Every structure is written in C-alpha cells, then in structure tokens.
Chains A and B, each alone.
Chain A
Amino acid sequence: MNQPAVQYNQSDAAISYMQRIEKLKDRVLSTRPAIDLENAAILTKSFMETQGEPLVLRKAKAFREQCRRKTVTIWEDELIVGCSGSRTRGGILSADVCWSVMDNELDTMNDRPFDPFRVTEKDKKLFTDVIKPYWKNKSVFEKWLKRIPDSVAGLRDNAIIYIDRKAVRGPGELTPGFDWLLEDGISGIQKWVEELLEQSELSAPNGYERQTYLRSLLISCEGILTLAARYAKEARRLAALQKNPERKAELEEIAQVCDRVPAHPAETFREAVQSVYLYHICVFMEQNAASYNPGRMDQYLYPFYKKDKAAGRLTDDQAQELFDCLWIKYAEPCLFQDGKTAEFASGYNMFQNACCGGIDENGQDAVNELSYMMLQAMKEVKLYQPSLSVRYHAGKNPVSFLRKIAELVKEGTGFPAIHNDEVGIKMLLKKGVTLKEAYNWNPCGCVETNLMGKLRGYTAIADVNLGSVVEFAMTDGVFRKTGENLGVRTGDPRSFDTFDDFKTAVKKQVARIIQVIVEANSVLETTWNERPVPVASLTFKECVASATDYAWGGAKYSTGNGIILDGIADFINSLSAVNQLIYEEKTLTWDRLLSALESDFKGFDDVRQLCLTAHKYGNDIPSCDDIASEMFAFMADEIDRYDTVHGRMISGILPVTAHVPLGHVVGALPSGRLAWTTLTDGLSPTGGTDVNGPTAVLKSVSRIPHDMFVSGTLLNMKLDPSFVADDRGLRNLMWLIRSMCDLGIYHVQFNVVSADTLRAAQKEPEKYRDLLIRVAGYTAYFVELGRDVQDEIIGRTVLSYKSDNRLSGACCS
C-alpha cells in the first residue's frame, strides 16, 4: 500500500451509474422511520423455548431463529443486499436489554419531538401481548434500575450526570475484525471453533462455561450462514421472475455472491463488500446499539480491489458504484432509543464510522485509490450515514488527499470528520495498545478511538454536567433547581480569599461527581455481563480463543469505561469571569455576583454586562485559556486515577446533543449565561462570544490537552459557504486543517451552511428534506432534529471572512 496515491477524479457527467444511486437513495429519503418489532418477537418466542439454558446460548439461538425466520427483502436496483430488520429505516428493539423504552412511549412515539417513529397498531399489539408480558422484570435495564446505588440516584435524577445511555440499549462502540472475516470467512472461523470445542474438556475448571460459549459461537455461525443462504435464494427467486435481462443478471450475481460470502474467504472486491455488510447487519440484529463501525475500509478492502484491477475484472466506476450502494445501505437502519436518550443524541444516528487515510502498519502513508473513492461516495450519495472519517496524517498523507478532503467539506454535508492521526495514535497508546497496533486505529461512533477486532471499552457511560459543577462550587453544594444538597460542602465562596481557593472548590466538586460515576460503573459492569454478544465476538480472535465474550472482556485490549464532560465553554468562561471580575479587577464581589445569579440576573443588569464582557474562551486570551489547560488536565487525570475490572477509566469531550438537556437544570452562571438555558456544545466557544475569528478559536481549543482525553474530543466549526467558494478558499481550508494538526487538536468537522438556509429549512422542512447538518460529532437531517437543537445550531457563531474586508483596501474605498 505504499505506492503513490492516484487521485481518483472523474467528471460527474461520465458517471453512468448515478441513475441507480439516485433511485436507491430516494427510497431511503422517502421512507419515514418506523418501529420494527419482527426481530424482538422472534427473540421473545425463542427465549420462551430456551428457558433454563445458559444465557449466551439462548442469545445465540434467538439470533439463529431471527436468521431463519426474519423477512428477507431485496429491493429494486440493489447490488449490495441485507437488512437487519424487516423494513428500510426501521428501528429495532432489543427487548432483552430494554423493552420498557417502548412501553412508556407507545402512544407518543409517533409525535415525540426527538426522533419520532411510526408505529402501527399491529406492532402495538405485538408489543403489548407478546413482548412486554415476557420481558417484564427480566431486562438488563430493569436490573440496573434495581441496583442503582444511593449515591448515584440523586445526581442521576437531576441530570447532573446522565448515565442511562448505555443501559437503555446495547453499548455498541465496537469495530468487528473485518480483516479476519474476509480472510477466513465464517466457515473458517467455524472450523477453528469446532477444533477448540473438540480440544476442550468438560471436566476442566470452567469446562462447561467454555463449551457452552463455543457452542453459542457455532450457533451464531449457523445463523449467519443461514441468513446469507436465504438472501441467495431470494435473489434466485427474483431473477426467475425478472423480465429485464440486465436486472436478471444482476440478481443472479447477487445470488452467487451470497452463496460464497460471508461463508468463505472473499475472492473479489464485490464479495468483500457484501461480506462486510452482511456480517454488519448480523451484529446489529444481535443487539440494537450505535457505533458498530465499518472502520478502515480503504485498508482491508484494498487487496481485493488491487487483485480485481490487475485481473481486469473491475473498473474504477464499478468499484465506486459498489461503494455508493454500500453507503446507501448504511443509511437504512435507524437507531431506536427512548425519547429522553434521543434528546441527548438526536437524529436517528447509528454512528457507523467508516474511515480512510492515515498510516499503515509500517507507519507509512496508507492513502490509496479506495481512500479517494470513499470520499467520492459521500460526495455522490450525500446521506447521513455512514459517518465518514478521515485519519489525516499531516506529515505522511499526500496533499492531493487533503485537497479531496477540502473539496468534500465544501459540499456542505458536514463530512468528513477530520481526525489528527498523530493524536489518535497517542490516544491508543495511552489505552495500552502497542505502537505497531496503534498505527491501525480507527475512529468510532462520532470521534472515539477504536481498534478493529481487538479493543473493548464503552466510551460514554455517563455525562458530567460541568455547569452543575460550577454551580455547586458557588452554592456550597446546593442544587439551585430544587434546593437539595447534591454536591460536596466546599464552603461559602465569600470566604475564598484567592482564585485558587475557588478552583480548589471546583476541583472537589468535580472529583466527587467522577467518584460517583465510577461507583455507578461498578454496578453497571455487573449488569452488562448479562448481555453477551456472541455474534460480534466471533471476529474478535482473543474472544474466540479464550471463549470469553466481548462483553465480558474477552477482547485483546480492554479499557475501563468512559466519562464524557459537557459544558466546556460555560465552565471555562465562568471560572475565568470569577477570576477576572472578583480577584483581578475587583469590579465585583462574591456577594453581588451570588445575588445576581440567585435571581437569574433580574435587577442585576450591570452585573450581567460585566459577566458577558469578561474574557471568553475561543479568543486566544491566555488568562482565560490557562484555566482551561489546568482544569481539564486535572479532570482527565482524576478520571484516569480509577481502576476497574476492565482497566483504567477513560475520558472524553464529545457531548453529542447532551448539552441541550443538561442545560435545563443549571442556574445562571458567571459566564453571563441565563438559568435553565442550553449549554455550549463540545469544545466550541459559546455562540457569539468568539470574536477573533477561526484561528483564535483553534488556538483556544488547542489549550485543552486533547491527547489526555483518549475517548476523543469534538470540535465543530460552522463555515459560511463563501469561506470555501473558490480555489483560494479551498487552499485556506487545507492550511487551517494542517495547522490544526500542528496545534495538537484531535478532531474538527466543518458545517458549510448559512444561518439563513437553516431558518428557511425550519419554515419549510419539506423542501429541505436532504439538508445535512453536523450536530455534534455526527451528521443528521436538519429537519428531523428537535426545534431546540435546530435553534441551537442556528445560534452557533457563523465563522466566516468578514465580507466587507474583501473589498476594503488600505485607507480607501
């Protein structure tokens, strides 16, 4: 893979396959997300029949039943086939993990503000008559509710921490070993498992567990093979009925491909793509969760592409068409979650992160033809999934790759998410992975860090509301919203002689919340042991070898779970304002500030003005940003301190949309933010406060030690379309990206849309059905987001060149 990268560039007019792509795409866009209970019903029935058997075996058998019985559909014009449910854009329910997500919302789901789902009367009946009665008191979520420690309950109930996300559905966040799948095929893995079973002794310690687990793997293999065979059969059935000879031939080819993969090692590029997708949907069927990542497709698919090209059996157009078809398939599933969780991460997003670029296992440039094709696929398809990421290595990757990235940014889809490769590699090292393996890291979900087939770790078990942290430090631990004492008693701030005293109080508050989350984590780990995933574990070599499920820590590497920090800018601005106004300039007293905050600034206009005009994060002001460096290094360290059964806890700054609901419980802050309003997303400065332009934003953002937050950090920058309108603009963007790498920033993603466009979309959503917007670490259809989130996006500062300066000379005109 070390040959010079060829830029893949074709004129749009020459693209013959776009007709097919447009049709496939239209099918996805015109389908409203709907609940899909077929799998849940099959699972429930299977569990009724397997009562008393070991859990993992029951899971595997239920999966096999799903493969045997689920609806198998091949839609018109498809080349890549497979669907985890019975319908396109279906949300599937993992009843065993959490059935109650549906129960509470059966009648409101259709109209709820965040991620509504259509639900038919038939499905409602299925749920009420079959699913709910069986699972009541048995699901993983119910176990969690019963086991929540007292210390956690108060904070959880008041949204100081948000911890249910990974309990209401599967944890996801894994990248199956696709390279191994393609190399050995399911039958190869099956053969190895059979050998292991043969060698195992029932009389050995844990002999029964080991054999049971290996059997569940074999049953999972059977399920996958059955499902592929059913797709082959369906393709043949349709071919027989098909009059159009071209489509007939296509269907016959689909049948042949599904005959071979994923059962056998892939021989061709087409087989490899189909194999990856079919296994992908199996993992999803087994457990509804976000962030099952396709990972580094340009790397593991490349040998097949190269072989096909050399043999003359594949053109670049054909390869591109297959990528485009695959991209549309990734846009089909919709993440089903409860309305509350959807509020924290809205947009139906499955967070299936596909990645290109970076360096290879020898530490050298890994960009190849497929890297460009993946970017091109996003340009041609423009759907919200897969989440397309690049690993950009400023030193090793070619400039033409960077140029292609800039061109895709210009398209305004919010893609690709740009990851600084060197920082990503460091994060993996900090997770305990060897350097050579770290070279092969891949982004996961929105901006998390992962390693194909080798790493376990749930990066977002809980969100810490940093707004509440500041509040507690000022109120001696009292939660303004209810008057309860939920924080630590850190004293009356009037008694703080120095800013250091205040910082110490803040540190104590945050340390306590972290400790509570770790306490919750101990409990969660025990409940999570009860949701094994044998289908996903199949491509984790160490899981198979040790007969230990992925969920139980069988993967080669494991980390403790991750804590997410929210409200970054609000936190920094509040601390900075206290320092500047009370301790440095002495224009405010604690007394006056506290009275103003208590009354949400009503009658304290002058105090609010002082607060608003104090130094703000995002302007490259050292006195303000120094506080950020110190406090965030402290928090990352504090989280690192805790060891768990799976390794040290990890931290990240990737709020998804949690900053919106978390803001609703935080009173007025010294930053000048009013009570109960939304917090600021990710690493971004608070909208309207960054007045020194994008370079200053990047400089401030770089003052947070990104590599310490090994789960990833997230930065959105919205660009006015004029920023990248011409060649010069694209060059500027390329330089910005390179400079961002120099600064050690981990991730950036650009939205190129105008606020006017967004307002128009709010007025006439039907006309903007395909308007994609970067929400926070992921992209969603703008018109499908809740109004709250929409308004918040519009309010983010539009960073652009000031248009009047384009015309102004020195002293004239």
Chain B
Amino acid sequence: MEGVIYKIERLAVYDGPGIRTVIFLKGCPLACVWCSSSESQKLIPEIGFWQEKCVACGACVDVCRSKAIGKDKNRNILQHFEACTNNGDCVRACLYQARKMIGGKVTVDEVVTELEKDAVFYHRSEGGVTLSGGDPICQPLFSARILERAVQMGFHTAVETSAYGDWPAFAGILDHLDLVYVDVKHMDMSAHKALTGKGNQRILDNIQRLDKQYPDLDLILRIPVIPGKNDSKDNIQKTGQFAAGLKTLKRIELLPYHRYGVSTYFVIGRSYALNEIDSPSREQVERLKAVLVSQGIFDVRIGG
C-alpha cells in the first residue's frame, strides 16, 4: 500500500512524548489562510523551485516537455507553475538543488523501515511516531496501516489532524492511537469557513464523538492564535466552553502565529494572503491562556 509524504523529521520532541519521528503526509481538507506548510496542502507530489539557488544554466528549460519553464529578458529562469505537470524531469536535470520534488510516493513498508531506524531512541524515551501533514485524515487507510504496524512494534502513536473527515475513516486512524492532536481554529461556523474554506460542524462533532467512543485516548486541542482572525476573547471563551465538556482532554496548546512558512509559498508559485499580520505578543497569548484557565482548563501551554 502506498501513500504520499513530503518530509520525515527525526528527533522530534514537540509532537508527543519522548523522542519521535514525525511523518508529514501530503494533502489537507482545509486551506487555512495562515497555513505555514502550503506545500503540504495538495495530495500530489509537486515541483518546488528555489530561485536563490538557481544559476540559470538552462538545463531545466531543455528537458521540460510541457513548456512550463522559460527565461526572462535577464536570462533568469521563469517557472510557469500552471503549466507544470510535475513529472520531475527538471528536478533530475538540476545539479544545483534549485528544484526539488515536494512529496513522493512511499509504501507502508518503507515508512516502517524509516521508523525502525530510531527505535532505540523511542524505547529509551517512551517515544514513537507522529503522523502529521498536511492532514493524515486525507490518506486514512495508509495512515491506519502505518499506525497499526507502529503499535505492533511497541511505539507510542500520535496524530496531528484537523478532524475534518468522514467518521468511519477517522475512526480507523483512532483505533491505533495513543494520542491525538486536533486543531480548533474558530468556533463560529461562517468565520471558520472564511478562514479555512470549510465549516466547523463536522470537526466539532468528530471531537465529541471521539471523546465518547475512545475514552482511553489522550486528546490535546490546539488553537492557532492568529491576530485579528480568531484571537478575540469571545472566540477563545467559546472554545474553552466546548473544551471543558470533553472528558479525554489532556490540555490545550496555544500556537502563536508565525511567518516561517511564507517563503515556501513562492517556491510552489503561490501568493501569501496574510502579509499585514505579525506574530501575537507574548502578553496577548498569556491573556488568552488566562481566559482558558479561568474556565477550568488547568493545563494550557503556549507552544507545542
């Protein structure tokens, strides 16, 4: 069985207990305007072009069969992303690592081999594997198979997800999990839709359902704090109310907005919508934390 992933990170320590390997899967059901991993959104492998590494040798122009690469009047390479078929010819032609395929097909066995590499570290630290993305929920069977194998080997398992998906597919993932991180981006349906492209009803339903049906699973809710978008006291209060009713909730993590992912937009030929926003101040995030704590949520952390 195959799936599409775009990154593997070893010695990850902020995505669950102990020392972990994080597998980043391609594909996401949402398209948040602040997304810091734009390259993860599409389910297919795609070409990335790093202009600053390009020496304009022209090797890519010669091999491209879809006329997606040209030169401007200064002889700089121009990438026409809309015409690109992502066949990877130009990546193989480039000697300067200015072109890379973001994402690739791998089998479950290949992923498991990768996980086993750090088994000695997981066992010592009670760590394991975290599936992230993108959102593993976009590749539910692939995700479930990896997690099942990880459980068989005694690794701790976690998933970071939007929870936006069909329940049976989602449950297939939850069956093999020790810990699930779910994002709650906005409590207001229309605001959620405007910011992420989808409504929030299915997400909230899924969270409540997993809370009932998986009492042994640890649940961590994460709130990205996007200044002016979802950081009003009212929204955080409502999130707190919702969270307070969950029996399996372990804690809430507030993730302050950052701009580390902006440059990747240009690498894949997209534009970034939130250019006017800065990261929230420490004080602002602390205020939101206080709001949640006052609602009886005792473990609230800033950062993952």
Contact = CB atoms under 8 A, between A and B. Distances in A.
A693 B8 CA distance: 11
B303 A699 contact: no
Interface in B101-135: 117-118, 120-121, 124-125, 127, 132-135
A738 B224 contact: no
B162 A812 contact: yes
Interface size class of A (residues with CB under 8 A): 20 to 34
A693 B11 contact: yes
A311 interface: no
A608 to B, nearest CB: 9
A498 interface: no
B95 A605 contact: yes
Q: Which of A610, A694, A695, A732 has the most CB of B within 10 A?
A: A695
Contact of B226 (A606, A610, A731, A813): A813
12 contacts: A620-B117, A699-B118, A742-B124, A805-B14, A808-B37, A810-B132, A811-B35, A811-B133, A811-B135, A811-B162, A813-B36, A813-B226
Contact of A810 (B13, B14, B96, B181): B181
Nearest to B55: A605
A521 B190 CA distance: 82
B160 A810 contact: yes
B183 A812 contact: yes
Contacts of A241: none
A692 B96 CA distance: 20
A736 B121 CA distance: 7
Contact of A739 (B40, B121, B257, B261): B121
B250 interface: no
Interface of B: 9-15, 18-19, 28, 30, 32, 34-37, 40-41, 55, 95-97, 117-118, 120-121, 124-125, 127, 132-135, 159-162, 181, 183, 185, 222, 224-226, 253, 255-258, 260-261, 303-304
A813 B11 contact: no
A809 interface: yes
Given A807-B304, A811-B32, A613 B19 contact: no
Given A613-B97, A694-B11, A738-B124, A810 B135 contact: yes
A804 interface: yes
Contacts of B11: 693-695, 801
B170 to A, nearest CB: 14
Nearest to A696: B10
B92 to A, nearest CB: 10
A742 B125 CA distance: 13
A808 B36 contact: yes
A809 B10 contact: no
Interface in A760-813: 801-802, 804-813
Given A695-B118, A804-B258, A610 B225 contact: no
A728 interface: yes
Interface of A: 605-606, 609-610, 613, 620, 692-696, 699, 728-729, 731-732, 735-736, 738-739, 742-743, 801-802, 804-813
Contacts of B304: 805-809
B96 A609 contact: yes
Given A808-B304, A811-B37, 15 more contacts: A606-B95, A609-B95, A609-B96, A620-B117, A699-B117, A728-B13, A729-B13, A738-B124, A801-B11, A804-B260, A807-B255, A808-B260, A811-B134, A812-B185, A813-B256
B97 A807 contact: no
Nearest to A694: B11
A678 to B, nearest CB: 24
Contacts of B260: 804, 807-808
A699 B225 CA distance: 38
A693 B93 CA distance: 28
Contact of A809 (B121, B127, B183): B183
B222 A739 contact: no
Question: Which has the most chain B C-beta neighbours within 10 Å: A613, A729, A802, A813?
Answer: A813
A742 B120 CA distance: 7
Given A809-B255, A812-B185, A735 B19 contact: yes
Report which residue of A699, A731, A804, A805 has the largest number of chain B beta carbons within 10 angstroms of its beta carbon: A805
